[in-house]
Amino acid sequence: MILTDVHTHSTFSADGRTPLAEMFARAEALGLQYYGISEHFDYDYLAEHVLCEGKQVPMIDAPAYFAAARALQAERGHGTRLLVGGEFGFSPDKKAQAMYAEAIRTYAPDFIVNSVHTVDGTDVWFGAYFRGKTKEEAFRGYLLRVKESLAAPYPYDIVGHIGYVARNAPYPDPLLRYADYAPLIDEILQGIISREKILEVNSSGRSAGRFLPNTDILTRYFALGGRLISFASDAHDAARVGDGRAEVCEALRAIGFTHIAVPDCGKRHMITL
């Protein structure tokens, strides 16, 4: 079995807890054939003046990150394939979009995860986003931003962690269910399929479930013809690299999926589940 984990973070990300070399060493020890580091590029935070618990989030030192990651990639040319990527937090702000496009031109990442963290000038992880909103209002606002993100004016490979809004949602029932937002989720899934993007299954679910999106959304994606799926632990420390992969793969096989997609410098490796 070929093991993959494409979407992790080291201390080059503001919330990472383990240095890059140690993250990669853990991936090697686990026998991963493809390991993707995708540090946060939080230009959405910058453009929309988003604070994290009242503080500004430091931006990534992109030159230092790519220099270190490329050096590690060149040094370890056998065994685990290190993919050097980025997670781009989508923003409708033109300045943020231009910064993402410039990062692609300058550093040529091996892959890009396009994800949504911010809505209404707030990261939806934090309680401030939910204050004064019903669950329907909060979740619909998030899903509308996800739909908007699909048309990002820069190339990307993966649509990351759909359901992020539910990870820390304060409602008695925090799950994002397909049936509650079916028409809108269908638009999102059809948008992913028509653009031939990869839908990520992320095992860092927290309150959102064991993984996200949940099986109801994944089942609908399959029914609509979606076949491109990636696995992500979203690990921010070495202990979580690869975490939950066996459970995710079992669930995907039960739905009917047969392969995991790994983006690699404009190519895709299709790995049998």
Where do the structural domains in the chain lie, given as residue ranges?
3-272
Query: How many percent of the chain have pLDDT more than 70?
Result: 100
Convert the pLDDT of each residue in 119-172 to its tens digit.
989 999 999 999 999 999 999 999 999 999 999 999 999 999 999 999 999 999
DSSP per-residue codes, 197-256: PEEEEES--GGG-SSBS-HHHHHHHHHTT---EEEE---SSGGGTTTTHHHHHHHHHHHT
pLDDT of residue 19: 98
pLDDT of residue 51: 83
DSSP per-residue codes, 63-85: HHHHHHHHHHHHH--SSSEEEEE
**52 pLDDT tier (thresholds 50, 70, 90):** confident
Between vectors from CA 179 to CA 234 and to CA 116, what angle results, nearest 5°? Answer: 35
pLDDT of residue 78: 73
Between vectors from CA 269 to CA 61 and to CA 226, what angle results, nearest 5°? Answer: 100
Mean per-residue pLDDT for 11-17? 97
The model's pTM is 0.97
The alpha carbon torsion through 251, 82, 193, 102 (nearest 10 deg) reads 140
Query: How many percent of the chain have pLDDT more than 90?
Result: 93
pLDDT of residue 63: 98
pLDDT of residue 76: 75
**Cβ atoms of residues 82 and 35 within 8 Å:** yes
Convert the pLDDT of each residue in 234-243 to its tens digit.
999 999 999 9
pLDDT of residue 256: 98
CATH architecture of 3-272: Alpha-Beta Barrel (3.20)
pLDDT of residue 1: 75
pLDDT of residue 77: 66
